[in-house]
Amino acid sequence: QIKDSATLTRDVLEQHFSDLKGTLKKLLDERLMSLLQEVDVIEQESIKPLDECQKLIEHGVSTADDLLREGESAVDGDVGQQNEKLCNFTKKALHIQLDSLPEVPSLVDVPCLSAQLDDCLLTILKNQIFRHGTVASRPPVQLEEFVEKPGGILVRWCKVDEDFIAQDYRLQCRKSPASPFEDVYVGSETEFMVLHIDPNVDYQFRVCARGDGRQEWSPWSVAQIGRTTLVPHEWTTGLEGYSLSSRRNIALRNDSQSCGVLYSKAPTYFCGQTLTFRQTVGQPDRRDSLGVCVEQRSGDDSLQRDKAVCISTNGAVFVNGKEMTNQLPAVTSGSTVTFDMEVVQLGPCSNEGGNFKLRVTISSNNREVVFDWVLDQCCGSLYFGCSFSYPGWKVLVF
């Protein structure tokens, strides 16, 4: 692990700084090109009026030179020609202004280009570069525990660096080493239930954290393998009145007028586990139910019957069809209802049956009730079920 992580860290550092050098060179080249273009623009804009002034002066000098030669020629000719040439020379001289020049800017007004390059940039870059990047011997968070759930894994993690103040955590998962890691959770909690897990298949997990007030994520934890041997909870198919998701772990009460109890496909709930329902609410009814039972039974419209324990959507708790005096809060959209059971055996359990007692804890909206459920037979596993009188209810079970 040490050698592999060291090799990987070297590769990451070399690649990062190689990319950084390429990016810096590109930025410097772009800045140089921008400054050179500024020089070109200033040069062209500043020299244009001076070029025009020079052309005017050269034209005036050339005109004066031509007039001077014409005057000399008029003086050198005979008397008849002199009069005519002198007359023409005089007319031309009167129409040419030899005593005016275009305005020439003073020397201080003429641009003089230069480059200002502040050497403090090198100092700033040097300080930033020497502080850029760190090498951590241990990530600040590590995976702590994997708890098997039916069709899922409850993943827990913890901080191993007490000085690190975490703002958010990021959990990733992949099914095989050949596939990429994908985010399954980002948030402030230190545990998360990963659903849609195939039983008896190894999944790889890793977690990292983001420090308080920071944007970048910490190094990843050591990747660890998690698996579940428990088959996923599924609703039974074919009951009119309920539509199921493709994985059959979500049931939706549809608009059908038929009613009845939707049971699990098999008795997949075992004592010692936590059974969780998460729901989207519809219109409640006092006969609604969420709970567990010993056996499937056709013809019932609710789990408020014998050999079953359940909670109604208004928070009433029923044991073997009798309502308890203790009541839980009404079921709300997005909330969870959980069932936990442990065995407390009263008498000898045999193939013919015997007294059997289960300690049941039902929790809803941060409140719970605890009671003993007495059965006349041993139950190694139980069915779960639900019933709703009106459409709009949707229940996820895990």
CB 174 within 8 A of CB 204: yes
CB under 8 Å to 175, separation ≥6 — which residues? 198, 201, 203, 204
What is the distance between the alpha carbons of residues 204 and 224, in angstroms, rounded to a whole number? 6
Residue type for position 91: K
Strands 152-159 and 141-149: antiparallel
* SS3 annotation, 120-184: HHHHHHHHHHHHCCCCCCCCCEEEEEEEEECCEEEEEEEECCCCCCEEEEEEEEECCCCCCCEEE
**Arch. (CATH architecture) of 141-228:** Sandwich (2.60)
* Residue the block writes with tokens 């039972």: 293
- In sequence order, the 6+-apart residues with CB closer than 8 A to the CB of 378 are 349, 353, 354, 356
For residues 138-177, one letter each, b for 16 or more C-beta atoms within 10 angstroms of the residue's C-beta and e for the rest, the string is: ebbbbbbebeebbbbbbbebebeeeeeebebbbbbbbeee
pLDDT value for 98: 60
Q: What is the pLDDT of residues 1-58, one digit of tens each?
A: 788 888 888 998 999 999 999 999 999 999 999 999 999 998 888 888 778 778 888 8
- Tell me the one-letter amino acid at 159: K
pLDDT digits (tens, 9 = 90+) for 263-298: 999 999 998 889 999 999 999 999 999 999 999 998
Separation of alpha carbons 72 and 63, rounded Å:
14
Percentages (nearest 5) of helix, strand, coil residues in the chain: 25, 30, 40
52 CB contacts (<8 Å, ≥6 apart)? 102
Burial of 22 (0-12, 13-18, 19+ CB in 10 A): exposed
**Which residues, including other chains, have CB under 8 Å from residue 50's CB and lie 6 or more apart?**
105, 110
Question: How many whole angstroms separate alpha carbon 243 and alpha carbon 253?
Answer: 7
Q: What's the pLDDT at 243?
A: 95
pLDDT score at 99: 62
Backbone angles phi, psi at 40, to 5 degrees: -60, -45
Is 320 within 8 Å of 307 (Cβ atoms)?
A: yes
Look at residues 202, 147, 161, 152 and name the one whose alpha carbon lies nearest to residue 179: 202
Which residues of the chain carry a pLDDT beneath 70? 77-82, 97-105, 136, 346-354
Give residue 78's pLDDT.
63
Length of the chain: 398
Per-residue DSSP letters for 227-261?
Answer: ---SPPP-BPS--TTEEE-TTS-EEEE-S-S---P
Q: Which amino acid is at 146?
A: F
Query: Residue 47 carries which side chain, given as an amino acid letter?
Result: I
Closest Cα to residue 273, out of 185, 156, 136, 382?
A: 382
Q: What's the CA gap between 371 and 308, in Å, rounded?
A: 13
Burial class of residue 247 (count of CB atoms within 10 Å of its CB; 0-12, 13-18, 19+): middle
Evaluate if pTM is beyond 0.75. no
For the chain, domain boundaries: 1-131, 141-228, 242-397
Superfamily (CATH) of domain 242-397 = SPRY domain (2.60.120.920)
Residues facing residue 343 across a β-bridge: 358
**Which among 34, 38, 31 is positioned nearest to 113, based on CA atoms?**
38
